[in-house]
Amino acid sequence: MTGAGAWVIENCAIATMDGPRDDQSGTEHRSGHIVLAGGRITAVGEGLAADVPDGARRVDGTGCLATPGLINTHHHLYQWLTQGQAQQSVLFDWLTELYPVWARIDAEQVHAAATAGLAWLALSGCTTSTDHHYIFPRAGHAGGGSSDALAAEIDAAGRVGLRFHPCRGSMDLGRSAGGLPPDEIVEDTDAALAATEDAVRRFHDPSPGAMVRVAAAPCSPFSVSSRLMRETASLARDLDVRMHTHLAETREEDAYCRQTMGRTPAEYAEELGWLGEDVWLAHCVHLDEAAVKRFAATGTSVAHCPSSNARLGAGIAPVRQLLRAGAAVGLGVDGPASSEGTSLAGEVRQALLAARLRDSCGPAALTARQALWLGTRGGARCLGRADEIGALRPGMLADLALWRVDTLAHDAIATGPEGGPGGGDPVAAFVLGPPAPLELLLVGGAPVVEGGELRTADVTAAARDVRAARQRLGAYR
Ligand code: ZN
């Protein structure tokens, strides 16, 4: 385990998120303490810490709110290289414009993009992120190809210091077979299955406190054959790893599934073995009532990406309905080509606003605490790690974010009549206000961000490297 240094953080408001579900998000402290040692949380409570471990670093959290580290449940890090393109396109046109560019990306470019993307996530309070990489051009096609892209991004995550759940994606349904992607960037079905198994055997760590866990992740119904979906599910269950894919993102996808498969995307997924407690699905914007019930009944989780859905004009996912039915929902910033520079902390607010806008649901759609639950506990449920991350309570991993809520934009909400936390609402300040400055970010007790600055990597060098990688790719409008 990395960074087993001990910490004592005191005098801060604390949202532990230790409750059992989104509408009972848990214990809060107005001025409390958190003690971390050996990579785990050892104490949380009101007032000052009773026991201070030898050599612990003490942090005065006055003016701050401590939350669990945020969890990002959907991303495509390589897309940092193609931000700002296809600005007026819906999903299928956007993909069609970008596939040929993505086909040329090599592992070195993926490394630069992943470093930039993960650094940005850390600076927005993320302690655990997933990534969905599905661009693996066939040998002999396109440019360098990116066959070892997963190794590149796992190396980047290790350098930035985030807990990382890369998804070995795949596509095998090219245009000539009725799919959307050009043939040259899809894999042979058996090769995709073998590469998925290889990624799990090389990188997946099932042990407690793991920094890297791999998921199996065919891309989408319109780029993957039913055989690859079915056999990936079987492989993932044999290997005991989680499963992830895109589902029901746009009306066009819904129409594609009804026309080619005679089913809704959710019905198609269930038929292929793709609903279950080991599955989390990105987007799920266009779900009917029956699908919401099936998700809840099967324990299927959803990665909700409100900014990306807005950028592509895809619609708003039925988050309120899913939560009421009992399904878990986490947050995802999604790939930067459809969600440029999205802050994960900002996505908590975006989720609240989007839920309230959907079908005129109004303020009852999501409370500030439910929105924070999505970014913490909901995300942990998506990644199958609710016993280790997403809440601040003894025994959980020492993954924590400490936010300044004493700024001009937050102070009036966060503080009470005497200028202290009593009577104020620091959680509302954090969720309803703009992204709060990040005072401290710990992953397994290791400092990743301090005083708003990334401690693990040089952000200027990361920006320079990713700019050079993009120039080499030639990815400009
Ligand atoms: Zn996506």
**Ligand 1 center to residue 56 CA distance, Å?**
41
* pLDDT at residue number 145: 45
**Ligand 1 center to residue 166 CA distance, Å?**
13
**Ligand 1 center to residue 132 CA distance, Å?**
7
**Ligand 1 center to residue 201 CA distance, Å?**
24
**Ligand 1 center to residue 133 CA distance, Å?**
9
**Ligand 1 center to residue 293 CA distance, Å?**
23
- Return the closest-CA partner of residue 377 out of 18, 125, 13, 127: 18
**Ligand 1 center to residue 181 CA distance, Å?**
15
Residue where the block lists tokens 């998804």: 167
* pLDDT at residue number 174: 95
**Ligand 1 center to residue 118 CA distance, Å?**
16
Element (H or E) spanning 355, and its range? helix 344-357
**Ligand 1 center to residue 249 CA distance, Å?**
9
**Ligand 1 center to residue 227 CA distance, Å?**
21
**Ligand 1 center to residue 270 CA distance, Å?**
20
Please tell me the number of Cα atoms within 13 Å of 160 on its side-chain side.
Answer: 33
Provide the percentage of residues in the chain whose pLDDT is more than 90: 91
**Ligand 1 center to residue 335 CA distance, Å?**
6
Per-residue pLDDT reduced to its tens digit, 429-465: 999 999 999 999 999 999 999 999 999 999 999 999 9
Name the DSSP letter for residue 476: -
* pLDDT at residue number 2: 41
**Ligand 1 center to residue 333 CA distance, Å?**
9
- Return the closest-CA partner of residue 438 out of 123, 69, 162, 8: 123
**Ligand 1 center to residue 259 CA distance, Å?**
23
Is the pLDDT reported for residue 344 higher than 60? yes
**What is the pLDDT averaged over residues 340-351?**
96
Per-residue pLDDT reduced to its tens digit, 194-234: 999 999 999 999 999 999 999 999 999 999 999 999 999 99
- Cα–Cα distances in angstroms (integers) from residue 205 to residues 22, 23, 166, 201, 358, in the given order: 29, 32, 12, 9, 39
**Ligand 1 center to residue 382 CA distance, Å?**
15
**Ligand 1 center to residue 225 CA distance, Å?**
18
**Ligand 1 center to residue 428 CA distance, Å?**
29
**Ligand 1 center to residue 368 CA distance, Å?**
25
pTM above 0.95, yes or no: yes
Per-residue pLDDT reduced to its tens digit, 79-133: 999 999 999 999 999 999 999 999 999 999 999 999 999 999 999 999 999 999 9
* String of DSSP letters for 158-174: HHHT-EEEEEEEE----
**Ligand 1 center to residue 171 CA distance, Å?**
13
